[in-house]
Amino acid sequence: MLRAKQNLKVKLPDIKKTLEMVAMLKSRAQGEDREVVTNFLVGDNIWAKATIPNETGKVGLWLGANVLVEYSYDEAIKLLMKNQIAAEEKLAETDSECDFLKDQITTTEVNMARVYNQGVRNKSEKEGKA
């Protein structure tokens, strides 16, 4: 549960950044400045400057499992918003499940202590009668 929660906390900012980037590309495509100049990561600490033509109105999104799919800006924004909402809902669900498990662990520990204390009390009463 905690690992799933941590993964969601890492994934959510990535989705938001990607959504912001696609929205920026869409706004640039509608304006006069159709090219985007950026730096991109080539390898470990190796960056290259690139000029991205923004004439196609399409963007590639990594879906996972080495799958890259090309979407129009509107489709990409719709997909990313759906993914963001799903991730936020899953994070909230995972938080509530973690809280439930914490309550169950506390209840179990209290009950174990009560059983142990009752065992000690029964043993001392048995020794007192003998």
Beta bridge partners of 120: none
- Residue 58 Ramachandran class (φ > 0 left, ψ -120 to 50 alpha, else beta): beta
Question: Can you give the residue ranges of every domain in the chain?
Answer: 2-129
Alpha-carbon distance of 84 to 15, in angstroms, equals 6
| pLDDT tens for each residue of 53-84 | 877 788 999 888 889 999 999 999 999 999 99
Q: Give the SS3 label for residue 65.
A: coil
Distance of alpha carbon 70 from the chain centroid: 23
What is the token pair recorded at 33?
A: 């400045």
- Which residue from 23, 78, 21, 32 is spatially nearest to 55, judged by alpha carbons? 32
- In this predicted structure, what is the pLDDT of residue 111? 97
The pTM of the whole model exceeds 0.85: no
CATH among 1.10.287.3510, 2.30.42.10, 3.40.50.970, 1.10.287.370 for 2-129: 1.10.287.370
Q: Give the SS3 label for residue 107.
A: helix
Percentage of residues in the chain having pLDDT higher than 70: 99
